[in-house]
Structure 1
Amino acid sequence: MNRPTLFDYQKDRDQSGPKKMLADFRSIIQTDGFAVYDSLFGNHPDIHLTLCMAHARRKFKDDVKDDEVKANYVLEEIQKLYLLEAKMREESIDWQQRTVLIKEHAKPVLENLGKWLEEKHYSYRPKSPMGQAIA
């Protein structure tokens, strides 16, 4: 099942664009983590916010200078997900098979990474590079 995808560009980064465009929207919104989406739709019963892995990855890639070992751990875990996606794309796997493979291979990686991030969250100052990457 292919879901329709929409990329929308707005000149300003205030709430007016997303608020108007997504007023009647009910589904999944993938964002770059910009706080406007969370403030508008974070508690919405019919909208599920997801973040872009590339944006999350970039924070840790930039953080290698601050804490190389821990940043590289996160990057290696994310790389496992990228490799799985590449394999599924390469093999033209349909959505049913993708669902099975994601549950089998990606879900454990994401769950372990989520636990690791929760554990490490308070080990860093909030304004530090690693603190910001984890947040």
Structure 2
Amino acid sequence: LKEFLGDAKIKSLQSDGYNVYMYLDNELMDIEHLCCLAHARAKFKYAYDQGSLQARIFLELIAKLYGMEDTYRREKLTSDEIYHRRNSKETTEIIDKIRTELYDLLANPDESRSELMSK
């Protein structure tokens, strides 16, 4: 990764959540780690398929975001229009709800929670 990036000054890095990307040459990088929503959704789907009903709310909220993206494509919106819609109150409310649900989940440890859901 360091060879690929060269001297680039990166501010953020999006990945599948694999924490090793936070380090380059064993040095912790001061970058914002952005996790991929598709990978996060897949983890919740696997957890739900294994019986973790807590995962359902996350799947529903992510589905709303995906539905919005589908609408943007169907309506053939310009990149500026998509940018504004992605930063709309509706989108922000969904993201805030996901964040709230995640924080609630983390704040309430549950011994019966599957390992996959805990991840």
Which bin holds the TM-score, normalised by the shorter protein? 0.7 to 0.9
Which of 10, 15, 24 aligns to 2:7? It is 24
1:102 Cα deviation from its structure 2 partner: 1.3
Gaps spanning 5+ residues in structure 2: where?
A: none
C-alpha change, 1:107 and 1:24, in structure 2 (3 Å) is farther
4+ residue stretches of structure 1 with deviation over 4 A? none
Gaps spanning 5+ residues in structure 1: where?
A: 1-17
**Residue of structure 1 in register with 2:60 after alignment:** 76
Q: RMSD between aligned alpha carbons?
A: 2.3
Deviation readout 1:20-66 (Å, 9 max, x if unpaired): 2123233543211111112349742xx44321111000111011123
**Residue of structure 2 in register with 1:128 after alignment:** 115
- Take 1:76 and 1:114, find their aligned partners in 2: how far apart are those partners? 14
- Take 2:34 and 2:69, find their aligned partners in 1: how far apart are those partners? 17
1:81 Cα deviation from its structure 2 partner: 0.6
Question: Contact 2:52/2:114 (CA < 8 Å) preserved in 1?
Answer: no
C-alpha change, 1:42 and 1:97, in structure 2 (3 Å) is farther
Give the TM-score, by structure 1 length.
0.71
Deviation readout 1:69-93 (Å, 9 max, x if unpaired): x211110000001001111112221
If asked which structure has higher relative contact order (CA below 8 Å, sep 6+), I would say 2
C-alpha change, 1:116 and 1:63, in structure 2 (3 Å) is same
1:119 Cα deviation from its structure 2 partner: 1.1
**Residue of structure 1 in register with 2:93 after alignment:** 108
C-alpha change, 1:127 and 1:63, in structure 2 (3 Å) is closer
Q: What percent identity do the matched residue pairs reach?
A: 27
Matching residue's letter, 1:97:
E
SS of alignment partner, residue 77 of structure 2 = coil
Residue 119, structure 1, aligned to residue 104, structure 2:
yes
